[in-house]
């Protein structure tokens, strides 16, 4: 079994631009998409995939599909590695 990390995030849909911000170790994700038909979730996964340079299939939403607070499971990376990339 490879590495995997659980990452708690807070999502703000309908933002002016799509970005991932670290605010005192809290991960905030601002998304262009509205929270309709899973569009914001898709965009969230796409954004993390691009930023972490891993395939979208390595990222899944474990909890919070319909809420602002989500728990992501990211395959192949440790939480430390993820946070280091996100803070850069």
- Which pLDDT value is given to residue 1? 54
Sites in the chain below the pLDDT cut of 50: none
* Rounded CA separation 36/58 (Å): 23
pTM exceeding the 0.75 threshold for the entire prediction? yes
Structure tokens at 22: 């670290």
Percent share of the chain, pLDDT over 90: 93
Question: 62 with 78: CB under 8 angstroms?
Answer: no
Residues 31-51: pLDDT tens digits? Answer: 999 999 999 999 999 999 999
Domain ranges of the chain: 4-87
Pick the CATH number of 4-87 from 3.40.50.12780, 3.90.400.10, 3.30.1200.10, 3.90.850.10: 3.30.1200.10
SS3 (DSSP) at 69: strand
């Amino acid at each position: 079994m490879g590495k995997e990390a659980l990452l708690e995030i807070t999502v703000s849909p309908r933002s002016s631009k799509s970005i991932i911000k670290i605010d005192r170790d809290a991960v905030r994700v601002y998304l262009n998409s509205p929270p309709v038909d899973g569009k914001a979730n898709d965009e969230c996964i796409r954004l993390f995939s691009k930023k972490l340079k891993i395939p979208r299939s390595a990222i899944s939403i474990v909890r919070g599909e319909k809420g602002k607070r989500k728990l992501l499971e990211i395959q192949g990376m440790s939480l430390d590695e993820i946070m280091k990339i996100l803070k850069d």
